[in-house]
Amino acid sequence: MTLIKSISGIRGTIGGQTNDNLTPVDAVKFAAAYGTWLKSYSETDDLKVVIGRDARLSGEMIQNLVVSTLVGLGIDVIDLGLSTTPTVEIAVPLEKADGGIILTASHNPKQWNALKLLNEKGEFLDAEQGAKILKLAEEEDFEFAEVDDLGEIIKNDSYIDIHIDEVLELSLVDADTIKKAGFKVVVDGVNSTGGIAIPKLLEELGVEVVKLYCDPTGHFPHNPEPLKEHLGDICKKVVEEKADFGIVVDPDVDRLAFISNDGQMFGEEYTLVACADYVLSKTQGNTVSNLSSSRALRDVTEKHGGTYEAAAVGEVNVVTKMKANNAIIGGEGNGGIIYPESHYGRDALVGTALFLMLMAEKGGTVAELRASYPSYFMSKKKIELTPDLDVDALLEAMHHKYKDEEVSTIDGVKIDFPENWVHLRKSNTEPIIRIYTEAKSQDEADGLADRIIGEIKEVAGLE
- Annotated active-site positions, please? 106
Residue 206 to residue 36: CA distance in whole angstroms: 46
Residues contacting residue 201 through CB under 8 Å, at least 6 positions apart? 164, 167, 349, 352, 353
Phi, psi of 158 (to 5 degrees): -95, 0
CB pairs under 8 A, 24+ apart, for 143-148? Answer: 143/36, 144/32, 144/72, 144/73, 144/74, 145/72, 145/73, 145/74
Any bridge partners for residue 336, and if so which?
A: 332
Helix, strand, or coil (residue 433): strand
Provide the residue count of the chain. Answer: 463
Any bridge partners for residue 384, and if so which?
A: 432
Residues contacting residue 182 through CB under 8 Å, at least 6 positions apart? 206, 208
HSE-up of residue 440 (Cα within 13 Å, Cβ side): 3
Q: How far is CA 384 from CA 15, 117, 312, in A?
A: 22, 27, 22
Please answer whether residues 245 and 238 qualify as being in contact, where contact means their C-beta atoms are separated by less than 8 angstroms: yes
Please answer whether residues 439 and 369 qualify as being in contact, where contact means their C-beta atoms are separated by less than 8 angstroms: no
Phi, psi of 251 (to 5 degrees): -60, -30
Helix, strand, or coil (residue 302): helix
DSSP one-letter code for 148: G
